[in-house]
Structure 1
Amino acid sequence: MKQLVKFTTGIILLLTASINGFSQDLHFSQFFNSPLTTNPANTGFIPDGNYRLGVNYRDQWSSIPVPYKTMSAFGDAQLFRDQLTYGWVGIGAVILRDVAGAGNLTSTKGYASIAYHQLMGNSSLLSLGFNAGSANKRVDVTKLVFGDQWNGKFFDAQVPTAEPMASSSANYFDLQVGMNYAYFPTDDIYINAGASVQHVNMPRETFYDGDNRVPRRYIGFLNASLKMSDKVILNPGAYYTRQAHTSQTMFGMNAAYNLSGDGNQQAYGGIYYRTNDAAMFMVGYQLSSVKLMFSYDATTSSLSAANSSRGAYEIGIIYTGLYKNRAFSDAIRSTFCPSF
């Protein structure tokens, strides 16, 4: 009976979340490790390198019947840093895929992005960027049941439904814009803030004959890196997003500890809180140019009654590289953020 109650509660809460969050986009708790989905102005905005590659994987609500799995891969690079004295261009691309729910609702998205970064003196940087791409969303109708298939005792998938679905797939063109500002007055202080708008063109997305539009999504973030000593760098951060009538706020901090003395090996630990939803605990390790982060979301909302607070785990892997034989002006720092 206890398991039945937990199962039923989970289904009810999931249905409620699906209704309230119908228009909500894919997201990662490690927003700082998913730069191109957070803001297109992050394209080529690499404080400690010239190019990077990354992958993210999120497994959410696996303890209840309809889990969510989200994956992404991205890459971006800086261009013309040896030709433009006080600026450069960033180019990049990102692919996302998400599978959710009993009907295997699958979202596949691919974007190409470009940004321009302009140094404003020796201690600040302004960036503008946009991306554009294609999105596909499809559902396996054979795995769904509808209200008219209820026979009084249970849902019978063999009974024909009159649900007016026009298609099991939807495709659309999507567009995002964003802006960043970074301030780095000394080698020990780095502050970065940004804002972006996703779905600027409000594309049509529906499996029916209606004109449902994807609402614009607004994202803002604030990050900092503070070098406390030759052993410790603190990285506080905050993230806010709003889409339609739903918003999300996340804030917290992680710290990097210098294991090798020269910064070649670093250990990470941190904690973040997403208001009215979950606490996120993070650990990580960096060896040379490769950083591996693992985080776990412990549910703090009412859904914890169904999933026993087992929310999601997430993995982020980032590789950051430097160009060989870089030619920069001596007046410009090639690395903006604190480093060991």
Structure 2
Amino acid sequence: MDHKKIYPKRSIAIAVLLLIVMLQTDVKAQLNPLAAQYFQNQYLFNPAMAGIDEGLNINLNVRKQWSSIPGAPATQAISADYLLGRAAFGVNVYADQSGLLKSTRAVATYAYHIPLGQNNQKLNFGVSAGILTQRVPLDQVSGDAGDLSIARYNERQSYLDGDFGTSYTSNNLSLQFALPNLRSVFNQYNYYTVDRSIYFTAASYKFDFGETINAISLEPKVVFRGVKGYTNILDVGANLMLANNQLSFQGIYHSTKSATFGFGLNKNTFSILAFYTTETAAINNYTNGNFELNLRLHLLNK
């Protein structure tokens, strides 16, 4: 047997597999972002929303595919933000694994909130900076973990990256604009694939009904997201809050022909939300969607 012919073929196969997995990971992250970003933790996608609520806010997110398929995508995120006067500081760590590729992104955020008048009107600005690392866990490789193609992939440096965002908020109206993945804006020759997110816009308005324990609010929201190399995505949904904001029901339709449904319990110091998102039309014959759980701690509120 000619080993010189076999090893190059195996290296090429592994390299092709890594490329396919990397593309699938970016598609998953950009087409189906964490559902908590729409209403509960808007800081996930827009640094200007860090510190939009007083006190220390800590959010933990876990998302997995509903069916247990080997190599299925899994996402974990943790963020914390704290308002200090008009300035706010935050940390956002996002880890995603799909197949053999594991991506970890960690950024620190500074935001500034300018009061404009009555009804809690504010003009908000925020910027994040940090690093992104992509690796193949050697302990999960079935085959030759010492293959040079894997070693070369893992030898790559971490990349500097960041985000910029701005927003106008009041007790009822919210308008947002964000530029995620700033490295791709200034340098088109980098690690990003064609499916990177290039901008994010959102508009929502909260309607309040009733008083005290019977208070009800309904917040419709429209989000328009740009994705490089893919049709721009429109998200339309609403957040219904009942029993003085203690119960929440969310529904969002995505123009990728998928939908998100959520239910949550909200208390003074914590909230728990669960989401189910159906798969996009392109792959809904192969998997039955994903499940997401979000825990939010609201501390040090004066």
TM-score grouping bracket, smaller chain normalisation = 0.7 to 0.9
Q: How many angstroms apart in 1 are the aligned matches of 2:28 and 2:74?
A: 15
Q: Which has the larger radius of gyration?
A: 1
Q: Is the 8 A contact 2:25 2:97 kept in 1?
A: no
Aligned residue for 1:306, secondary structure, equals: coil
2:63 match: 58
The 1:16/1:237 distance shift into structure 2, 3 A limit, reads farther
1:316 match: 294
Identity among equivalent pairs (%) = 20
Q: How many angstroms apart in 1 are the aligned matches of 2:55 and 2:140?
A: 46
The 1:196/1:108 distance shift into structure 2, 3 A limit, reads same
Q: Is 1:224 the equivalent of 2:205?
A: yes
Offset of residue 137 of structure 1: 0.8
Q: How many angstroms apart in 2 are the aligned matches of 1:90 and 1:251?
A: 29
Per-residue CA deviations over 1:68-127 (Å, capped at 9, x if unaligned) read 1111111111112xxxxxxx11111111111111x2x11112111011111112242101
Per-residue CA deviations over 1:195-227 (Å, capped at 9, x if unaligned) read 11112123999xxxxx54435621112233211
Q: Is 1:112 the equivalent of 2:108?
A: yes
Aligned residue for 1:67, secondary structure, equals: coil
Q: Is the 8 A contact 1:24 1:243 kept in 2?
A: no
1:337 match: none
Q: How many angstroms apart in 2 are the aligned matches of 1:290 and 1:322?
A: 12
Q: How many angstroms apart in 1 are the aligned matches of 2:197 and 2:106?
A: 18
Among candidates 165, 184, 190, match of residue 178 of structure 1: 165
Per-residue CA deviations over 1:276-335 (Å, capped at 9, x if unaligned) read 24221111111222111111112351422122xx200111112224544xxxxxxxxxxx
**Alignment map for 1:241-252 (pairs within 5 Å):** 241-246=225-230, 247-252=232-237
Q: Is the 8 A contact 1:139 1:169 kept in 2?
A: no
Q: Is the 8 A contact 1:62 1:68 kept in 2?
A: no
The 1:198/1:172 distance shift into structure 2, 3 A limit, reads same
1:266 match: 246
Q: Is the 8 A contact 1:272 1:281 kept in 2?
A: yes
Among candidates 279, 293, 298, match of residue 299 of structure 1: 279
Any unmatched runs of 5+ in structure 2?
1-18
Which deviates more, 126-135 or 269-278?
A: 269-278
TM-score (norm 1): 0.70
The 1:16/1:95 distance shift into structure 2, 3 A limit, reads closer
1:281 match: 261
TM-score (norm 2): 0.78
1:7 match: none
Per-residue CA deviations over 1:164-213 (Å, capped at 9, x if unaligned) read 973225411111111001134xxxxx1111111112123999xxxxx544
Q: Is the 8 A contact 1:172 1:203 kept in 2?
A: no
Any unmatched runs of 5+ in structure 1?
1-14, 81-87, 146-156, 185-189, 206-210, 325-340
**Alignment map for 1:88-237 (pairs within 5 Å):** 88-101=86-99, 103=100, 105-123=101-119, 124-140=121-137, 157=143, 166-170=152-156, 171-184=158-171, 190-202=172-184, 212-214=190-192, 217-230=198-211, 231=214, 232-237=216-221
Q: Is the 8 A contact 2:25 2:73 kept in 1?
A: no
Q: 1 or 2, which has the higher helix percentage?
A: 2
Among candidates 37, 42, 64, match of residue 49 of structure 2: 42
Q: How many angstroms apart in 1 are the aligned matches of 2:281 and 2:22?
A: 15
